[in-house]
Structure 1
Amino acid sequence: MHNLCLLIRSIAATLAIWCLLVPCAEAVDPGSCCQSLAASLGSKVAFPDSPAYSSSLASYWSAQEQTTYPACVLSASSAQDVSTALKILVPRACKFAARGGGHGALAGLANIQDGVTIDLRGLDFIKPFAENQLVSVGSGLRIGAIYAALHPLNIAISGGRSYDVGVSGSTLGNGWGWLSNEAGFCCDNVVEYEVVLANGAIVTASQRNNANLWKALKGGGNNFGIVTNFVLRTVPMTRIWTADVVYTLTESQIPRLLGAAADFTSREEPDPKETLLFTFSYTPTVGNMYYVQCISFSMTVVNDPDALSELHRVYNTSIASVSGVYGIGWTLSFQPLTRLMTDASAARGGNVLGIGQPPEEGLHEVQLTAAFPDAADYDRVSRAADQLLADCTAAVKLLGADWPWVEMNHASHIQDPISTYGEENKAFLVDTAAEYDPDAVFQKLMPGGYKLKGGHASR
């Protein structure tokens, strides 16, 4: 017993000494982390109540991120700034976040309470080269800025649909848009990344150099480093025809709409230049919503008209649970996931998403988006969204139309998209993280996002 007590005392003393030498994460003073940053990076570090700090918070898309308050914000304008920051923050065990476009729905995805937020919006360059077949873009850009810059050159990238979406977060998750049938996801078209690793090293990752890191970043999220530059393949464009059609349908007309969507997705000879997104939305009359709370989830189902119909029924039933929420937008969207997309992905080197080969009839990625202005309603809407996800999942399983893949960019706080990538892909991601981030810095000190071992993102 005496020896056991001595051993315990020895371990306690060792831990105490370790915490003095390498500050324990729980004991780190965020203020000291920020002061250390400011000593090296000067006015690029903004503190609360400063215009730069307020501007950074106000630029986030969701109110959850706008009301997450870091101890300071670093406005990085180069990969070297990011490198310097990590060389300061990591040895001190300072917690941090990295934000590109800031379009995430969940608090903590690209911001951090009482930590250091590395704001990448200063990385905003767009440089076409190789006879406009490639374009180098900074990781702080939003997709719309890239589209606008490339349009006069008659080229585009296979990026997200919304102009407000950041190139960084969307591409590291997948990057699904109007051109995915023709060119695959945005992540499939990254030929090179510039990445700042946990130790501050700035490396390039491509099919030839750091190939494991290159592939891991094609859907693996923020688990490996901070990407500061994407080199993307471009897609030749001449003219794009789009149409937003809004219908007020009776219940008797819904089967016809769902049948048409199923037929579109299962065509024997699909046109790679055509795509579809259809949405059911409940929105009561309301004025402008300046601060928008947002909740989402994602699931994948086999393109079965009965399954689509059942999902619509479950969604319709769920409206009663949120109809009393002021200003609610309760939206269920369907987008076809076809063999054209997975074939295009494979032709460009593959990714780690683990979608598999869709059946001949195709798949649909189904996502909920709930937007509302009052934070007081968050718990109520969140419970309704969780219940709708459970009910939708149960309904398609009964019909044998379930598919395991969860799309990261619209996953909910209770989902673990990386676990749906398959055992082989997840093992590859874990091994690659161990190679490039052996101290698990991006698992421990950068808590936002979907982690390799923790699973769920912040709420």
Structure 2
Amino acid sequence: MVFLNTSRIVISLIIVTLTLRARAASIGVQNCCGDLHNLFPSLVSFPNSTNYNSTLYSYYTAQEVSIDPACFFSPGSESDIASTLSLFSQHKCSFAIKSGGHGIWGGIANIQNGVSIDLAKFNALGVASRGNETVVKIGVGMKWGQVYQLLDAQGLAVPGGRWGGVGVGGLTLGGGISFFSTRVGFVCDNIVNAQVVLASGKIVNANATSHPELWRALKGGSNNFGVVTRLDLLAFPQGKFWGGQVIQPYTPATLDHFVDAVSTYSSDPEFDIYASLIFSYVFNSGSWIFISNVQYTQENNFPSTLAPFTDYEPDTQVQNTVRFSNLSDFADTNSDADGPNGATRNFYFTRTYGSSPVLIRQMYNLHNETVSKTVSLLTEAVSWSLTAEPFPTVLTQWGDRKGGNVLGLHADDGPLILWLVTVFWHDPTNDAMIAKAVSDFFSKIDSLAQELGLYNSYSYLNYADKTEPVIEGYGAENVAFLRAVSKKYDSQGVFQKLVPGGFKLGV
């Protein structure tokens, strides 16, 4: 009896302790939002207000829209953010950082019952000269479609998102793939300066000569070091170019053709750096199709290197939108196909493997089996795709040539292919089944890739699910470097402990 009473007392104490902790956390958040409102009454919005709802529904996925922060904070200057970070450190208030809000999984750029910082007001763009180079200074609250519209008129371009609705900040700090990647490297490789508000409230410019470690860490290190408010990217002259989308129905012969085409394109030792390809095998409305999203960014005739994706059996093509147009048109057209923000639940999962027709064929076969089995168990229609994005060696060499990044990719890795599975649906009760099916699919492909000597640890941060070891995939040397930079610039671990969203450094 004494033992039972003691157990009950211990359990009661645990419950009371947990309740008090939860209440203290709630009070901390209330203090943060309340104190923020006292400091910046016009910059803080609360649930059920027009500004709050407008910001909430600007997130891309239904998972992010379903998260309710205690308040949104919409700073208008770096000094606003500096004051805020001091307040957050004092109250131990958890917060999220939103640039364009195009992250996929729930909680990557939003936070339940915390404070979500919305950087939409950092939307200025300027063009400047730097010696014989042109630099575009971009506020991280801009979306790439807005950037391209302004630069098209000046005959300029920067590497950036291929979907116009994607935000500047998140894409760039996660690495960033563009139509120009093989010409100039990842988007992050083209950062010549980043303006950052540190946890201490100090505002710094990180570049090759000032805070160079921070500059390199930001090139793939995401939200782990501070609030980035402006990114200065190298620009280059760019006029109209060829691009568009070709849709073809599935047949076994067409599958054979595209398996060989993707492998040949990815491994071409004379790769044409002006070519860009996103190739998808898509299940939608009960049928399979192939979608080739192609661009050729040199202003001349469409090249032979992309002909296997645009000219194959033209009489059977469902759609062919290949045209001569400008960057903003191609990016906006891609985004228009996505539909309204927050309308669907999305799941992304990514891997990187060496290029091989043997592996590609096995992936397509297993993908067919996975989709067929899973769809038969679901209570709703889904859209499900397997996408290949070639990483030829001319792409992975750029990081080392432009001051280094932390992605862990190098030319001696050989030709690679970035793979992405995307699923779109509506019913949250199907979340776990879909996630497990995709994860199991890649676990099997991982094993096969390792057997074939084609496995690469890199996972593209902007495509990755929250369960993927993105930072670890950069390699031990880069992980150690990132942790050292975090310790130097955020000694209290504000961006590790108070910002749960994104991919953390494990410190």
TM-score by length of 1: 0.90
Determine the C-alpha separation between the residues in 2 that align with 1:114 and 1:226.
20
Deviation at 1:359? 4.4
AA in 2 matched with 1:310 = Q
The CA distance in 1 between the partners of 2:394 and 2:339, in whole Å, is 39
Instruction: Provide the residue aligned with 2:9 in structure 1.
Output: none
Specify the alignment match of 2:235 in structure 1. 234
Q: Distance in 1 between matches of 2:198 and 2:97?
A: 13
How far the C-alpha of 1:255 sits from its partner, in A, is 2.0
Partner of 2:283: 282
Query: Which stretch of the first structure deviates more once superposed, 216-225 or 248-257?
Result: 248-257
Tell me, in whole angstroms, the C-alpha distance in 1 between the residues paired with 2:60 and 2:179.
22
For 2:464 and 2:417, the matched residues in 1 are separated by 15
* Aligned-partner Cα distance in 2 for 1:126–1:288: 27
Is 1:134 paired with 2:188? Answer: no
* Correspondence for 1:405 among 448, 455, 458: 458
Amino acid at match of 1:137: I
Partner of 2:190: 189
CA shift for structure 1 position 130: 1.0
Between stretches 133-142 and 377-386, larger displacement belongs to 377-386
Distance (whole Å) between structure 2 residues aligned to residue 73 and residue 96 of structure 1: 10
Query: Following the alignment from structure 1 to structure 2, what is the Cα–Cα distance between the partners of residues 391 and 162?
Result: 30
- CA deviation map 1:354-392 (0-9, x unaligned): 0133444x1100011111122222122122222222122
Amino acid at match of 1:318: T
The Cα offsets for residues 323-350 of structure 1, whole Å up to 9 and x where unpaired, read as: 2352311111001111111222222112
Q: Secondary structure at the match of 2:194?
A: strand
User: How far apart, CA to CA, are the structure 2 residues paired with 1:165 and 1:159?
Assistant: 9
Post-superposition CA distance 1:278-337 (Å, at most 9, x none): 011111269988621111111011111111111111111111233235231111100111
Alignment RMSD: 2.1
Asked if 2 retains the 8 angstrom alpha-carbon contact of 1:207 and 1:214, the reply is yes
Cα deviation digits, residues 129-179 of structure 1 (max 9, x gap) = 118811111111111111111111111111121111111111111010110
> How far, CA to CA, are the matches of 1:365 and 1:85 in structure 2?
38
Please name the residue that 1:170 is paired with.
171
- Name the counterpart of 1:320: 372
Q: Encode CA deviations 1:239-280: one digit per residue, 9 max, x unaligned.
A: 211121111121233122111111112222111111211011
**Deviation (angstroms), 1:25:** 7.7
- Larger % of strand: which? 2
Q: Residue 304 of structure 1 is aligned with which of 336, 348, 356?
A: 356
* Counterpart mapping for 1:382-421 below 5 A: 382-421=435-474
2: CA distance, partners of 1:240 / 1:345? 25
- Answer whether contact 2:345 2:426 (CA < 8 A) is retained: yes
Separation in 2, partners of 1:313, 1:125: 47
8 Å CA contact 2:152–2:239 kept in 1: the answer is no
Match in the other structure for 2:345: 293
Partner of 1:45: 44
Deviates more, 1:160-169 or 1:278-287: 278-287
- Residues 356 and 56 (structure 1), Cα distance of their counterparts in 2 relative to 1, 3 Å cut: same
Question: Separation in 2 of the partners of 1:155 and 1:220?
Answer: 27
Residue equivalent to 1:428: 481
Give the corresponding residue for 1:5. none
Unmatched 5+ stretches in structure 1 = 1-22, 455-459
- The residue that corresponds to 2:219 in the other structure is 218
Within a 5 Å distance, the mapping from 1:245-394 to structure 2 comes to 245-284=246-285, 291-323=343-375, 324-360=378-414, 362-394=415-447
CA spacing shift, 1:262–1:250, aligned 2, 3 Å:
same
2: CA distance between counterparts of 1:45 and 1:327?
A: 39
| Contact 1:28–1:94, Cα closer than 8 Å, also in 2 | no
Q: Against the structure 1 CA distance between its residues 254 and 104, is the aligned structure 2 distance closer, same or farther, given a 3 Å change threshold?
A: same
The alignment-based identity, stated in percent, is: 32
In 1, Cα distance between equivalents of 2:23 and 2:394: 49
Q: 3-state SS of the aligned residue for 1:153?
A: coil
Q: Tell me how far apart the structure 2 counterparts of residues 31 and 327 of structure 1 sit (CA, whole Å).
A: 41
Q: Which moved more, 1:143-152 or 1:208-217?
A: 143-152
Residues 1:288 and 1:119: Cα distance change in structure 2 (over 3 Å)? closer
Residue 80 of structure 1 and its aligned partner are, at CA, apart by 1.5
Contact 2:408–2:458 (Cα < 8 Å) also in 1:
yes
**1:212 Cα shift?**
0.5
Structure 1 equivalent of residue 72 of structure 2: 73
SS at match of 2:141: coil
Q: Which residue of 1 aligns with 2:124?
A: 125
**Residue 299 of structure 2 corresponds to which residue in structure 1?**
none
Number of residues of Structure 1 aligned to a counterpart in Structure 2: 432
Q: Is the 8 A contact 2:174 2:221 kept in 1?
A: yes
| Contact 2:271 2:392 (C-alpha < 8 Å) held by counterparts | no
How far the C-alpha of 1:395 sits from its partner, in A, is 2.6
Determine if contact 2:156/2:238 at 8 Å carries over to the other structure. Answer: yes
Distance between the aligned counterparts of 1:186 and 1:415, measured in 2?
22
Inter-partner Cα distance in structure 2 for 1:321 and 1:83: 51
Indicate conservation of the 8 Å contact 1:30/1:115, yes or no.
yes
Does structure 2 retain, via aligned residues, the 8 Å contact 1:70–1:113? Answer: yes
CA distance in 1 between partners of 2:87 and 2:28 (Å): 14
Contact 1:53 1:72 (C-alpha < 8 Å) held by counterparts: yes
Distance 1:396 1:49 in 2: 50
- Give ranges in structure 2 of 5+ residues lacking alignment: 1-21, 288-337
Partner of 1:16: none
Name the stretch that deviates more: 262-271 or 23-32.
Answer: 23-32
- Distance in structure 1 (CA, Å) of the matches to 2:339 and 2:42: 36
Between stretches 328-337 and 283-292, larger displacement belongs to: 283-292
Distance 1:60 1:406 in 2: 23
Counterparts in 2 of 1:400 and 1:334: CA distance versus 1, 3 Å = same
* Alpha-carbon spacing, 1:288–1:452, altered in 2? closer, same or farther (3 Å): closer
SS at match of 1:312: helix
Q: Provide closer, same or farther for how the CA distance between residues 358 and 370 of structure 1 changes in structure 2, counting only shifts above 3 A.
A: farther
Change over 3 Å in CA distance of 1:151–1:325 after alignment to 2: farther
Give the CA deviation at 1:97. 0.6
The residue that corresponds to 1:11 in the other structure is none
Cα 1:408–1:325 change in 2 (3 A) is farther
Structure-1 separation of matches of 2:422 and 2:412: 25
